């Protein structure tokens, strides 16, 4: 289905990104300007920067950029809620004003030029378009190996996750409305979006170096993120613990029979090494099992409390009409609607 000049919103979650924000808005504003000139998106298209409780000048800079760029809008969250919650908050806020949304990180490592390809796939009828890395040659051996292992583990656990895709994607408002129906508190968008089941497309790009600043995902956060994703969408780890318990139990029975037979035959020899290894092994399995079960219990605890995923402290909205208003207007009027003036954003 061909879509005439959709309003495109670009959602950018930000955490301590003051060093790169100026570069980011220049790049994204240029992309939207080019798409508008081609007639691929509406002049009402916008950029929404979501401040996730930054401790630097990210929010004041967003407010200043809004005064200088007519396409810029902002959302300030009341505290740091994490990348996934901040991104979801931005998507749910921006979908009121847009026909489709692109989510992208502020560091400019995702090639903004493929946004055009995403829009073309959307206009062809795709409700979801994934940005997928074409290669990982720029990564270190450690990062490349762990990342590939992560995707293989996730797929091995039965999760419908797109290989080498992070959170660079386009989603239609229809897809976003369905995503809003997901009521869980433990959010892992890379695994949740494929569950929607709408028609999807893929665009490939080469990941670039970070434009400025430092990565907000050190090894510790990456491990935590991977664990969050696995335990949020799959119960297979619990079943693996159960299978391991049965396996250890079976081994203990065999070793018990062996000990009894050896004793009856007078060949029993006290083995300190084998005993201590067995104790450490069983103890390790027990601690691992308890920790994994605790992880799931913790998630149940969070789900039961139903606390909000984010709280909006302040919104600097884009100068566009709401989606509901556009649905009730005359189609001919929409086609001829002029671009919002620069002063309307202040």
Q: Locate all alpha helices (DSSP H) within the chain, ordered by sequence.
A: 21-37, 58-68, 83-94, 115-123, 141-156, 173-179, 189-192, 219-233, 236-264, 272-305, 323-327, 331-335
Judge contact between 17 and 55, C-beta under 8 A.
Answer: no
Considering only CA atoms, which of 152, 114, 159 is closest in space to residue 132?
Answer: 114
Phi and psi of 304, rounded to 5°? Answer: -65, -35
Phi and psi of 9, rounded to 5°? Answer: -110, 140
Judge contact between 177 and 101, C-beta under 8 A.
Answer: no
In the chain, the N- to C-terminal Cα span, in Å, equals 36
Q: What is the pLDDT of residues 242-286, one digit of tens each?
A: 677 667 666 666 666 766 666 666 665 566 556 655 766 777 677
Phi and psi of 43, rounded to 5°? Answer: -65, -15
**Long-range Cβ contacts of 57-61 (<8 Å, 24+ apart):** 57/18, 58/14, 58/15, 58/16, 58/17, 58/18, 58/21, 61/18, 61/21, 61/22
**How far apart, in whole angstroms, are the C-alpha atoms of residue 232 and residue 298?**
11
Q: Please give the pLDDT value at position 239.
A: 67
**How far apart, in whole angstroms, are the C-alpha atoms of residue 114 and residue 201?**
13
Is this prediction's pTM over 0.95? no
Q: Please give the pLDDT value at position 308.
A: 80
Q: Please give the pLDDT value at position 338.
A: 39
**How far apart, in whole angstroms, are the C-alpha atoms of residue 257 and residue 264?**
11
**How far apart, in whole angstroms, are the C-alpha atoms of residue 126 and residue 288?**
43
Q: Helix axis angle, 21-37 relative to 115-123, nearest 10°?
A: 40
Q: Please give the pLDDT value at position 227.
A: 64
Q: What is the pLDDT of residues 190-218, one digit of tens each?
A: 888 888 989 999 999 887 775 555 555 55
DSSP for 205-242? Answer: EPPPPPSSS--S--HHHHHHHHHHHHHHH--HHHHHHH
Q: Please give the pLDDT value at position 59.
A: 95
Judge contact between 109 and 210, C-beta under 8 A.
Answer: yes
Considering only CA atoms, which of 149, 123, 112 is closest in space to residue 41?
Answer: 123
Considering only CA atoms, which of 54, 55, 53, 67 is closest in space to residue 25?
Answer: 67
Query: What CATH number was assigned to the domain covering residues 8-214+311-345?
Result: 3.90.550.10
**How far apart, in whole angstroms, are the C-alpha atoms of residue 328 and residue 330?**
7
Q: Please give the pLDDT value at position 105.
A: 92
Q: Please give the pLDDT value at position 160.
A: 72
Name the stretches of the chain with pLDDT < 70: 1-3, 136-144, 146-151, 153-159, 210-239, 241-242, 245-246, 248-256, 258-277, 279-280, 284, 287, 301-302, 305, 320-346
């Amino acid at each position: 289905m061909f879509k005439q000049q959709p309003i495109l919103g670009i959602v950018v979650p930000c955490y301590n990104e003051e060093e790169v924000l100026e570069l980011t808005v220049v790049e994204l504003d240029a992309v939207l300007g080019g798409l508008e000139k081609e007639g691929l998106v509406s002049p009402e298209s916008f950029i929404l920067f979501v401040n996730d409780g930054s401790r630097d000048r990210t929010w004041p800079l967003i407010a200043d950029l809004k005064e200088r760029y007519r396409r810029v809008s902002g959302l300030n969250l009341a505290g740091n809620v994490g990348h996934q919650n901040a991104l979801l908050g931005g998507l749910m806020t921006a979908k009121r004003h847009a026909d489709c949304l692109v989510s992208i990180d502020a560091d400019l490592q995702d090639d903004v030029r493929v946004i055009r390809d995403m829009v073309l796939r959307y206009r062809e009828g795709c409700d979801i378009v994934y940005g997928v890395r074409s290669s990982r040659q720029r990564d270190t051996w450690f990062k490349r190996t762990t990342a590939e292992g992560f995707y293989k583990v996730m797929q091995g656990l039965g999760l419908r996750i797109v290989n080498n895709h992070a959170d660079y994607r386009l989603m239609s408002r229809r897809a976003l409305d369905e995503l809003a129906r997901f009521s869980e508190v433990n959010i892992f968008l890379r695994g949740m979006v494929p569950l929607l089941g709408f028609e999807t497309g893929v665009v490939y790009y080469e990941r670039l170096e970070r434009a400025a600043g430092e990565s907000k995902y050190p090894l510790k956060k990456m491990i935590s993120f991977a664990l969050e994703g696995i335990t949020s969408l799959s119960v297979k780890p619990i079943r693996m613990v159960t299978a391991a318990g049965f396996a250890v139990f079976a081994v203990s029975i065999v070793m018990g029979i062996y000990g009894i037979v050896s004793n009856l035959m007078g060949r029993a020899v006290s083995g300190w090494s084998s005993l201590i290894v067995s104790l450490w092994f069983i103890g390790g399995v027990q601690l691992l099992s308890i920790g994994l079960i605790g992880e799931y219990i913790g998630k149940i605890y969070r789900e039961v409390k139903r606390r909000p995923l984010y709280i909006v402290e302040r919104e600097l909205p884009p100068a566009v009409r709401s989606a509901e208003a556009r649905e009730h207007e005359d189609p001919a009027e929409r086609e001829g609607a002029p671009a919002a003036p620069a002063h309307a954003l202040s």
